[in-house]
Structure 1
Amino acid sequence: MADNVSIVGGDVTLRSINDRVIIVQILMIIFLCINFFLILTFFRKECFYTTSRYILFAVTLLSDSFILFIADVLFVFSYFQFTMPVWLCIIISVVVILYITVTPVTLTAMTLERYVAICMPLRHGELCSQSSTVNCILIIHGLSSVPCIVILSTFFASASHSFYTQYRMCSVEIFILYRWQDHIRAGMNQVYFVLMCITIVFCYVKIMKVAKAASGENKSSTWKGLRTVILHAFQLLLCLIQLWCPFIETAVLQISLELFLNVRFFTYLTFSLAPRCLSPLIYGLRDETFVHALKSYVCFGLCKINI
């Protein structure tokens, strides 16, 4: 990053960037530790890894943890201005682009699962069986790989052979060599954004109708499912806004480098880190069964330490 070699402001500018790095590392450690305990809890009980919604929840935890780790490494590399060969950056970026898309697509699938559970309860066991969920995960990764394939295909068609051996700071932006490539990426993001929003709204409206018609315990369960869909929608919105961040940052860069760095740090915290810390809250800490299992696991670990 440019600020860490800036003379203007002296120690103040350097201290500001150091504070940012420290904040990110603290948040990263907290999020990864929470996700680690939730993943361990998931694999400890059979009722979790044989239930559709918990399996999809584990997929989001694993993909989010992986993206958080890789994003943190790239953030540190950017801070210290480490460069790497373009071919190595391509390998890293394939995984990053894939799993950045996996999270919102999985959230959409989880919303559909709640829709089936509430609006089609008699078919839930058939449509959301363990084998169906495995097939769903494969479909999720297939859909999520499309942007990655398109972005890299346009890059391979445009880049010269010598470009692969150059040393650059690794970011997705190095694959955008021409403006038409940026337009293609923007078009794909818009298509994904619209399709996911339509799915969320459809599920919300259908569940809302069932919630109004339900009574007693069914009403309470249905409204809980509706709140889960709303939280999914908020989390998904943050993830989808992340798809627009590169265009915002590109426009801001034309105004000021300092403003660009501030905006990029804000979007990194708000639209990269924040959505990926909501999954434990939505399905981990709000779910009574999961919380009970998590408490039992933690208490057992403490008792074992005491012994």
Structure 2
Amino acid sequence: MVNVSGQSLDGLIHQQDLMVEKDWVFVLKVAFALATPVFFIYVNCIMLFTLYSNASFRETSRYILFAHMLFNDSILLMTSVLLYILALAFQHIMRGLCVFLVLISGTTFINSPLNLAVMALERYIAICLPLRHGEISTPKRTGVVIGVIWVLSSLEYVSDLLAVLATQPSSFFLLPVYCTREMLFGMKWQPVMRQVFDCLFFLLVSCIIIYTYVAIMLQARSVSSDKASVSKARNTVLLHGVQLLLCLSSFLCGVIEVMLARLERSSFIHIRYVSFMVLIILPRCLSPLIYGLRDENFRKLFKYYFTFASSKIKPLAGNA
């Protein structure tokens, strides 16, 4: 009964939203919300092809982790856009399909900061433990670490799914639902567990990035260290910190909506749209692009493929 009432309330609010905003502004906003992720998914695919096309990229841990970032953020953008379209149309889908979409979206969301932590650790090993870097940062071990990232990221959502399997009949997954996590997993303890998981993950990642940055700064003071290499690694880890802040900004969406819920309906719709684009979509679009274009070897080869190989001479990637 509670679920039915919740869906009816959501439907009423959604109908009011459409009555307020069914005009050319609405069309432009939807077009921008769809075109932006699609374009950057295309850019990410070019980047992935660039990485795959060069053997030195395929065999170097930091480029493997970068490729994982591109793949992960592309999946996250695709699921976010799909869920956005479903929400916009107030389209009900089978709970089983909704569980799959929410599981993928949520897991890839948590993947991002964990991947940043591993990338920071890889730079720490390269600078502070250079003699062991080749032994530790192998492609095989990097693949294992990526697998561990996916397992850790899925724990929160798998526990939600197991709770549903233990308390609901199998027919639960065949019923239509307005696809949100709250509509699927409505037990009282689940929001609390969600906050605990999120806080633990982001606290862990923050500690790792701060530790690696400080360690690399201390290494920079060493007379025997390669100043240019250390400085580049330090800036890379600092960029990971900025990327982490971009990930954290996604949590502000719900806070902003709660704070501004009392605003006039049309104003609230616009603010909700802006927060969705600025805090959820754009960080996932820009973060891989900024990181990739900082690397000179990668940038030259990416530019070659992005311009449809218009250059007569294909650039050669140096030692990765």
The TM-score, its normalising length taken from structure 1, stands at: 0.87
Residue aligned with 1:6, SS: helix
Q: Contact conserved, 1:108 with 1:200, CA < 8 A, in 2?
A: yes
2:171 counterpart of 1:170: no
Give the aligned residue type for 1:63.
N
Aligned pair in 2 of structure 1 residues 250, 303: CA closer, same or farther (>3 Å)?
closer
Give the corresponding residue for 1:234.
242
**Which residue, out of 110, 126, 148, partners 1:139?**
148
Instruction: Name the SS of the counterpart of 2:310 in structure 1.
Output: helix
Q: 1:99: which partner in 2?
A: 108
1:203 aligns with 2:223: no
Which of 268, 293, 296 lines up with 1:288 in the alignment? Answer: 296
Please say which of residues 88-97 and 108-117 is displaced more in the overlay. 88-97
- Aligned residue pairs, count: 301
Distance 1:97 1:265 in 2: 20
What is the aligned partner in structure 1 of residue 258 from structure 2? 251
After superposition, residues 1-307 of structure 1 pair within 5 angstroms as 5-6=15-16, 14-159=23-168, 163-213=172-222, 218-243=226-251, 245-246=253-254, 248=255, 251-252=258-259, 255=262, 258=265, 261-298=269-306, 301-302=309-310
**Structure with more of its chain in helix, by fraction:** 1
Larger mean CA deviation between 121-130 and 86-95 belongs to 86-95
Q: Deviations over 1:251-273 (max 9, x none)?
A: 34864684664454333223322
Q: After superposition, what is the alpha-carbon deviation per residue over 1:182-235, rounded to whole angstroms, capped at 9, x for unaligned?
A: 11111111111211111111111111111233578x212211211111111111
CA–CA distance in structure 1, aligned partners of residues 294 and 15 of structure 2: 45
The 8 Å contact of residues 211 and 223 in structure 1, kept in 2 or not, is answered as yes
* In structure 2, distance between residues paired with 1:8 and 1:34: 32
Q: Give the residue type in structure 1 aligned to 2:299.
A: V
* Preserved contact between residue 63 and residue 102 of structure 1 (Cα < 8 Å): yes
Worse-superposed segment, 166-175 or 55-64? 166-175
Aligned partners of 1:215 and 1:154: how far apart in 2? Answer: 55
Q: For each residue in 1:113-144, what CA deviation from the matched residue of structure 2 results, as whole angstroms up to 9, or x when unmatched?
A: 11111111111111101111111111111111
Q: Which whole-Å deviations, capped at 9, do the CAs of 1:35-88 have from their partners, x for residues lacking one?
A: 111111011100111000000000010111111112111111111111101122
Structure 1 residue 165 displacement after superposition: 3.1
% same residue: 32
- Counterpart CA distance in 2 for 1:234 and 1:127 is 26
Q: Contact 1:86/1:164 (CA < 8 Å) preserved in 2?
A: yes
Letter in 1 for 2:16: S
Ranges in structure 1 where 5+ consecutive residues have no aligned partner: none
1:168 aligned counterpart, secondary structure: strand
- Residue 13 of structure 1 deviates from its aligned partner by 5.4
Aligned partners of 1:293 and 1:119: how far apart in 2?
A: 29
**Separation of aligned partners in 2, 1:164 and 1:268:** 28
User: Is the partner of 1:213 in helix, strand or coil?
Assistant: coil
TM-score, normalized by length of structure 2?
0.84
